[in-house]
Chain A
């Protein structure tokens, strides 16, 4: 223990970190984005505690796991909420014959689900983990699909008796006054196929446990089987599939461009920024509409209005990309094509949308946020304290609704954001209402960004419109280059970890889903509240199961 370390938390540099970890660091394993320290599996907690309490790394962004020929490896990607560019990776190798590592759950609650996923997919055991079960795959699954010895062709034969009886827990427990209720996977308000196991005392929620994995589509593995240059880009569109596609594409683009040291021309950056913000508006409109649906309880005017306005954005995106949902518009080093001709028409259409937006936002204010019953329902319900939010690794509008001033577009600039005028929105209410307000104001900020981008694009000299840099046909980043890069997607920090293995396909492709971590905080928000608040809180998190389950 380097207890004599006196440097203040936010002053610690790489040498300071080295000193802090001291001889617990077996060796260094630096990643492209951050210094990496290799430590012993039984010192995970002590190192992470020190990094959190003494070096200020309060955000466990992602926990990656992978298997090499000679070892398993867990990587804890740490960041700080104040400055996401301050990063450090803690690498924990474990032997192949006994992949047991100490859990990080006591340090960061977000490690709970993350380590369960690693156990599920890769097969690393985490000692002292409170709930070491599978999370994405069924309990009866045999083998760990991302492990090297996994036989994909072996059929999963599970006897009927082995299946957990979903009704068993349903029987009335005569000892208690509570009622067990399965909310979902088929339920009108679970935003996809989410299963929430709830224990109720009358109308009050005593305990909830989100059960995910119904929409698991092996996205990580599919990305590992595609080539960097072209075959991976279509997949991100399918993670957060409610029109946030371009934001997801950017996550992959940013990680891969960092890995292969690719430059993106400025003109392409402006187009990227504009299209990403259009996507954000579409995604937030949908979030607004579905949240109204959850609280209002019917397909009311708000839901339809939100869809009407989202439709306009979709039309613009269709003009730009040729697609309405699965855009596949980004390419490594730029975008696939320039703005549609005639450009004036595109600009005019987009400007018309931006001109009409303030009136529409005012309409939402009248109908939604200004409504007394709505406020009665949303103010002070689904409380997520900032400290709790940080523990669970919440990001995006969910974190900003809890007053955490974090936005990767500003704090870890990419694209063209740093040259534009816009604000990060935060609200201090920590409740469902704040999260809605944040999204609504972010729509306005996105509009502001788009407007500036359009101005720039209009003025851009015709001979300097370079949409892609010169990228080799086959990308083969050097073996063992590793990076973790994140962007601010509609739901929060969408991060991608890629390890190159010297071929034209990634050795390991890990997706850090913001919805996954935001959802894990649900029990903290709803326990002790009423069922309607559970539904409203779930809606206010704005999860997309495609991204939660991947």
Chain B
């Protein structure tokens, strides 16, 4: 029985966080505050790079392959096995490009925007319990924190749109704000219905509660994932999430055929990569939130050590869904989008919250 196994087991029952574990394993914990800080950095580095690696695979390769499969094509297959090395080629290509900064842009807002967009998504991953003991922090207000930091992205999009000194960018930025305001509320309110069930905002707790069996079907227990407990909330959350991250059919802020590329029209080279990266990180963060509060987080068959695998599978499933929608659904018009948000989603999400509250109240009573 190694310390690692013990740590894993401990992490499953209790919140034994990744920084602490690294501190214990490396002995950094003995150096006091500085050592713990270093351990925390190492842990953040690991998680951050895991996510970046995922976007690296998703952006240049998986997205192409998936779309190609939907649209009767082959996509990248020349560079490396299954075209995988295109990731390297694309990285070099994108970074080697000239970073063109138009004359009239409003600096430093123009330069900050890509960092804000990508950074806000990265921050969200700090509190997500990814299973196998991978969780950086577990504050009691975990869910609120995730919504809060991912909402910062809107600021980045407005900055990008406004600072670019381009009318298409401006239109895209304005659309992004209008859309995020309209869909953030249903998103959070629907998230609240889960909190009503779970009685906690702490993400590790929410995950733990979902592990309990909902019903037994012939010796096979269906876990109490909130997607099963309240499918309506799940669908609402999924839809609001797609709008929040600006994916089809709600990709109006970019709307390539209408407003060229929206807020990212003027960005090139590294800045473009950062914004693009930010978008994928947001898709994955959205997937992570959905997995955590609706799909039981890292839960899945097999030993608990496989937690992170199941977690990633769930995130990628959400990503796959975004690509599927992208290949199959038209984009709604901006006024229709706002209408759906304010007149449909908002009402439904509040109805869902009230019903959930009543239901939980009755059961508890």
Give me the interface of A with B, judged by CB distance under 8 Å. Answer: 179, 181, 187-189, 203, 292-301, 303-305, 308, 367, 371, 373-374, 376-377, 530-533, 535
Contacts and interface: CB of A to CB of B under 8 A. Distances in A.
Contacts, number: 84
B70 A373 contact: no
Nearest to A293: B257
Interface stretch (B87-95, B227-235, B331-339): B331-339
Contacts of B171: 203, 531
B334 A532 contact: yes
Contact of A376 (B67, B168, B326, B336): B336
Given A298-B326, A301-B328, A305-B72, A188 B167 contact: no
26 contacts: A181-B168, A187-B260, A188-B260, A203-B171, A292-B330, A296-B331, A297-B251, A297-B257, A297-B258, A298-B256, A300-B327, A300-B328, A301-B328, A304-B72, A371-B330, A373-B249, A373-B331, A377-B330, A377-B331, A530-B333, A530-B335, A531-B258, A531-B259, A532-B255, A532-B334, A533-B333
B257 A300 contact: no
A179 B335 CA distance: 18
Interface string B254-266: 0111111000000
A301 B70 contact: yes
Contacts of B331: 295-297, 373, 377, 532
A304 B333 CA distance: 23
B57 to A, nearest CB: 21
A299 B73 CA distance: 12
A397 to B, nearest CB: 20
A187 B265 CA distance: 11
B167 A371 contact: no
B329 interface: yes
A298 B248 contact: yes
Contact of B327 (A293, A294, A301, A532): A301
Contacts of B72: 301, 304-305, 308
Q: Which of A292, A294, A301, A303 has the most CB of B within 10 A?
A: A301
A377 B329 CA distance: 12
Contact of A371 (B67, B259, B329, B335): B329
B69 to A, nearest CB: 10
B2 interface: no
A189 B257 contact: yes
Interface of B: 67, 70-73, 167-168, 171, 248-249, 251, 255-260, 326-336
Nearest to B170: A179
Nearest to B255: A297
B343 to A, nearest CB: 14
B71 A532 contact: no
A377 B333 contact: yes
A170 B330 CA distance: 31
Nearest to B252: A532
Nearest to A538: B257
A303 B326 CA distance: 12
B213 to A, nearest CB: 38
Contacts of A532: 255, 258, 331, 333-334
Contacts of B256: 188, 297-298
Contact of B258 (A300, A304, A371, A535): A535
Nearest to A203: B334
Q: Which 8 pairs from chain A and chain B are nearest by CB?
A: A304-B71, A189-B257, A297-B331, A296-B330, A532-B333, A373-B330, A374-B330, A301-B327
Nearest to A290: B257
Given A203-B171, A367-B328, A299 B71 contact: yes
B332 A300 contact: no
A406 B228 CA distance: 57
B105 to A, nearest CB: 16
A153 to B, nearest CB: 40
A376 B257 contact: no
B330 A295 contact: yes
A292 B70 CA distance: 15
Nearest to A190: B257
Contacts of A188: 256-257, 260
B43 to A, nearest CB: 38
A301 B67 CA distance: 8
B209 to A, nearest CB: 36
Contacts of B333: 376-377, 530, 532-533
Contact of A373 (B167, B255, B332): B332
A189 B327 CA distance: 18
A424 B256 CA distance: 35
A373 B329 contact: yes
B31 to A, nearest CB: 52
Q: Which of B71, B255, B326 has the most CB of A within 10 A?
A: B71
A174 to B, nearest CB: 16
A377 B257 contact: no
Contacts of A292: 330
A296 B330 CA distance: 4
A301 B258 contact: no
Contacts of A179: 167
Contact of B71 (A203, A301, A371, A374): A301
B334 A297 contact: no
A300 B71 contact: yes
A373 B258 CA distance: 17
A305 to B, nearest CB: 7
Q: Which of B249, B255, B258, B329 has the most CB of A within 10 A?
A: B258
A187 B261 CA distance: 10
Contacts of B329: 296, 371, 373
B335 A300 contact: no
B173 to A, nearest CB: 13
A180 B90 CA distance: 37
A264 B340 CA distance: 59
Contacts of A305: 71-72
Contacts of B258: 189, 297, 531-532, 535
B75 to A, nearest CB: 11
Nearest to B68: A304
A229 B259 CA distance: 47
Contacts of A300: 71, 326-328
Contacts of B248: 296-298
A488 B330 CA distance: 31
A310 to B, nearest CB: 13
Contacts of B168: 181
B276 to A, nearest CB: 15
Q: Which of B72, B257, B260, B331 has the most CB of A within 10 A?
A: B257
B144 to A, nearest CB: 33
Nearest to B261: A188
A303 B257 CA distance: 13
Contacts of B251: 297-298
A308 B74 CA distance: 13
A298 B255 CA distance: 8
A213 B328 CA distance: 35
A221 to B, nearest CB: 34
B283 to A, nearest CB: 15
B357 to A, nearest CB: 32
A294 B255 CA distance: 10
A299 B257 CA distance: 10
A300 B330 CA distance: 9
A70 to B, nearest CB: 52
